[in-house]
Homo-oligomer: A and B are copies of this chain.
């Protein structure tokens, strides 16, 4: 179940430090490692020694970059969602102006899936551990999750208003069912069983048919 690590985007926010110094790169290496271990072992199962090993340094070095284990985890979880939201926002911005509500939903499906399956670790860490966080970390995560959900809610609201969503589906429930459809892919997808393109195509076809009124 070991996954790829790469974290190309990783909203490099930090606190005003330059981004290309050796220091910054080490910080990212630690975050990547943490995402990988967190995704595989879960909140309580992630050990700093494991993270250190993946990041190729000694555990105490982590404290040079993060005040505590929980702070590191909080950052990973937050980046996972924030990155995803940024991705989706951008994707919707560049969508053709004449795209209908359903087409915008399908764009969101593709964006979410590609991000989830390609960038991966951060997102799967965020998804899998959302329910297991202690209260102190949960707050920032929940806030970010709400923002991401709001993007989707707007898409469904629009579809309901333009009649592109079947009447016998509750918009809220439909949204949750779609998010389940795509979130779950991270649990079963493996590169050797089907290409990402195939998964995206099938998921889009599936969602469009599930939501659209009979023509």
Each complex incorporates copies of this chain amounting to 2
Interface string of A167-186 (1 = CB under 8 A from B): 01110111011011111110
A199 at the B interface (CB under 8 A): yes
What's the Cα separation between A206 and B170 when bound, in Å?
A: 10
- Whether the pair B194, A170 counts as a contact (CB closer than 8 A) is yes
Within the assembled complex, what's the spacing in Å between the Cα atoms of A173 and B215? 25
Chain B residues with CB below 8 A from A1, complex form: 131
Q: Does A61 lie at the interface of the complex (its beta carbon under 8 Å from any beta carbon of B)? A: no
- In the assembled complex, A40 has its CB within 8 A of some CB on chain B: yes
A94 interfacial by beta-carbon distance below 8 Å: no
Q: Would you call A188 an interface residue if the criterion is a C-beta within 8 Å of the partner chain's C-beta atoms? A: yes
The answer on a CB contact under 8 Å between B210 and A206 is: yes
| A128 CB contacts on chain B under 8 angstroms | 128, 131-132
From 136 to 181 in chain A, residues with beta carbon under 8 angstroms from any chain B beta carbon are 166, 168-170, 172-174, 176-177, 179-181
A179 pairs with B184, CB closer than 8 A: yes
Q: Please tell me if the beta carbons of A205 and B169 are within 8 angstroms of each other in the complex.
A: yes
| Min CB gap A110→B, angstroms | 14
Bound form: Cα–Cα A172–B199 in Å: 11
Nearest residue (CB) in B for A187 is B131
Q: A42-B45, A132-B41 are in contact. Are A173 and B187 (CB under 8 A)?
A: no
The 3 closest A-B pairs by CB, nearest first: A180-B184, A44-B45, A210-B210
Point out residues on A near B: beta carbons under 8 Å: 1, 40-45, 128-132, 166, 168-170, 172-174, 176-177, 179-185, 187-189, 193-194, 198-199, 202-203, 205-207, 209-212, 214-215
